Structure 1
Amino acid sequence: MAESSVQPDQMNKETERTSKMTKQAKLKYLDFVHVAAIQALVCVSRLYDWAKENSGPLKPGVQTVEGTVKTVVGPVYEKFRDLPFEILKFVDTKPLLQGRTPLAKGPSTHSTSAERYAVSAWKSLNKLPVFPQVAQVVLPTAAHWTEKYNGAVRSSAEKGYAFAGYLPVVPVERIAKVFEGNEKAE
């Protein structure tokens, strides 16, 4: 079998670190998000490994770029590796998730502060090298899949599936307004 970009000892260390984090602070409401993210990461990693192994004559170039990216992104990754889980822990403890009923209407009382935090985080990330270019590539895809997700949730709710009432719809228009308004203010 071909050599994987993620070495077995790295996977074992990552798995051990994740299980320690999970044992330390089990998420009460958003554990499914954490599990889904890990599963998605594993799938994307396997897909990347397959694509890299089947890149044919482009393989040396792919390996060169991969080495450069690891050198540049590695320290940033190490610095922020626990950030997604810490954000999940933070959101998991907030009252906006506690006592929510299906199809809860209206914005939560924390929405304005959440918007401020999101805009602040966005400004900070935009100061990092390469992030704006990556965002320009990733955001249209994220917007497309968010619309697909929202459509699936709405369709499931219209068909009367009970679980659909528990799934949030991502407020794409509101998010766009918040960031547009913030860019104009600068």
Structure 2
Amino acid sequence: MDETKEQRMKRLEFVQVAAFDAVSFAAKVYNYTKDKSGPLKPGIQTVEGTVKTVVGPVYDRYHGVPVEFLKFVDRKVDESMNMVQSHVPAVLKQVSTQAFSTAQKAPVAARSVMTVAEHLAVSTWCSLNRLPLFPQVAKVVVPTASYYTEKYNQSVQLSAENGYKVASYLPLVPTEKIAKAFSVDKTEPVVLTGGAVEAN
């Protein structure tokens, strides 16, 4: 157990993992191209055998050097980080801990604000529907807004599926939830996700 702890790096393990992934990917690409090389395959195998014969002994002798060098650098980085952390004032550490804690609580606060916003939106919609001419204007505007909202959602989903990273950060408009909230019959109470009840 102590041996595995000693072998694992504290700060630069990601470099070792990235290097392993890169070598693995390169090996897959090499094998794929070798398999698809067609009539050049015997020549490639001959060159590969020669390279293995020449490079093999050198590799056997020095293959552990990059890992040992990385472990050495990892130890030095760890020592430097420990020295820096010992000089950082306790107040700064406390502030960073509080900031991290606050950031973790943000999604909960956002959900509670969302519930209140839903309640206010439905309440405002019901109040506006009581005004003269608003229902007629809404009948013209709402289908257009719904159409463009659906197009926006489709564009965001398609962009995310095509691998555009920015699209994964864009929110989708909850059209079904909005339609359900705003199409409630005026005679029945509106029950929101937070449990609040509003009579129309």
TM-score range, shorter chain: 0.3 to 0.5
Query: Considering only CA atoms, is the larger Rg found in Structure 1 or Structure 2?
Result: 2
TM-score of the superposition, structure 2-length normalised? 0.38
TM-score of the superposition, structure 1-length normalised? 0.40
| Structure with the higher fraction of residues in helix conformation | 2
Select the structure with the greater relative contact order (CA < 8 A; seq sep ≥ 6).
1
